Structure 1
């Protein structure tokens, strides 16, 4: 799995001019799944994301995790994280998970995040979405379970 995490002041996702997911302070997660991802990958990412200390404490240091600041998560599926751009000008997406498998894993990932007690809003898998955010910092972190 690959995840691009962005610390946000606010974020939302729209389909056909209707907001389907929205958060305030927290993380926007762009989530890509490959066919060899497992429940262990989900568990690893949930642990890393929920314990990631990238929110400022009273001294202005990045010392607090999302739970300690009552943050929220907006999770959006994004198969294009597995784009292969080595040859030509049109990316190949053969390394992205098959849609059926990727949807199952994306939903399991979101459920695992929710089971930690966090508020988790989502996009809609396989849809053309418009994602908006106000990046806070900016803080952007990339996770790749193939490179732990």
Structure 2
């Protein structure tokens, strides 16, 4: 799994001009699922997204000290296949991404796992497979690229 995580003061997603989801302070997560991703990858990403320290602790005057959970902020998750691209000349190719039907199921499971590990109504999402308009008010700006670990020698990921 790959994610681009942006610390935001607000973010929202629309489909055909209709607002689907919106958050205030928190994280906007653009998530892509590879054809080799497993439950272990999902566990890793959920844990990192909820616990990565991208927010300040104003009381102690410390930067990079608080997570989205610590601050009780929201998360907007958007499925984005284009994060698993390769270029064939100047054209993107997405053969490394998981097939849409399997990816949809894994993305749904990812959202369920995030909701279960945090506060259900703090997790928002776009519409899988739809053409979306995503508005992000980046805070900082802070943008982090996150990827689930590569398999170790002997793992059965292929």
Q: Distance in 2 between matches of 1:75 and 1:98?
A: 19
Match status 1:128 vs 2:139: no
Aligned length: 147
1:10-54 CA distances to partner (integer Å, 9 max, x unpaired)?
A: 000000101101101000000101121111111111111111111
Match status 1:139 vs 2:147: no
How far the C-alpha of 1:146 sits from its partner, in A, is: 4.3
- 5+ long unaligned stretches in structure 2: 152-158
Q: Distance in 1 between matches of 2:145 and 2:110?
A: 16
How far the C-alpha of 1:68 sits from its partner, in A, is: 1.3
Structure-1 residue corresponding to 2:21: 21
Q: Distance in 1 between matches of 2:123 and 2:111?
A: 7
Structure-1 residue corresponding to 2:116: 115
Q: Please, what is the CA RMSD of the aligned residues?
A: 1.2
1:99-129 CA distances to partner (integer Å, 9 max, x unpaired)?
A: 0111011111111110122311100000000
Task: Name the TM-score, length of structure 1 as normaliser.
Answer: 0.95
Q: SS of the counterpart of 2:107?
A: helix
Structure-1 residue corresponding to 2:31: 31
Match status 1:96 vs 2:92: no
Task: Name the TM-score, length of structure 2 as normaliser.
Answer: 0.89
- Which consecutive segments of 4 or more residues in structure 1 shift more than 6 A? none
Aligned counterpart for 2:64 among listed residues 53, 57, 62: 62
Structure-2 residue corresponding to 1:51: 51
Q: Distance in 1 between matches of 2:22 and 2:36?
A: 30
- 5+ long unaligned stretches in structure 1: none
